[in-house]
Structure 1
Amino acid sequence: MMKAIWKDTVIAESSDTRIVENNHYFPMEDIKKEYFKPSESHTRCPWKGKASYFHVEVDGEINKDAAWYYPEASHAAKPIENYVAFWNGVKVTE
């Protein structure tokens, strides 16, 4: 079981992550939505497509753009479409 943790709080937990480029992508239904706020940020990956972001908020502290996902992944990245990955201090561990 993989967990995403920020500020000693489990913000996502799944036994069905998918690993791409050393990142664990969690199914959208396995994130704890109360800790996620939509972000206006977007980036583009040459092979995965346009990424959207979430801010992560725990105990009033906000980690801007700490989670990303591909709402409309390219054909090559369809297995991670709407799966969420983390960075910026979010620890992913078993």
Structure 2
Amino acid sequence: MVKFLSVIIATLAAISPVVQAFDCKPGRNYCGSALKRNGWSDKRLQDKSLYHCDAKDKVTEKQFCSYYCLERKPSKNDICTYPE
């Protein structure tokens, strides 16, 4: 029975999809909320901050968005927005 259970667990592990964090595109800016939604788990990420992608797995904080951080289409940088 133990051997059978081990085979089932090994099979399930092999066919389960692997979840990877989204790789950012170097040179682009991303809202903290977008990074977190795409699997980044750094506890220092803030939803309303804008981050610059230095390498596919490394970002640095660019600025805090005092009003709102707007996530834009994949081909555009995210930006801070302000009330008009």
TM range (shorter): under 0.3
TM-score, length of structure 1 as denominator length: 0.24
More strand by share: 1
> Which fold has the larger relative contact order, with Cα–Cα distance below 8 Å and residues 6 or more apart in sequence?
1
More helix by share: 2
TM-score, length of structure 2 as denominator length: 0.26
Name which one, 1 or 2, has greater alpha-carbon Rg. 2
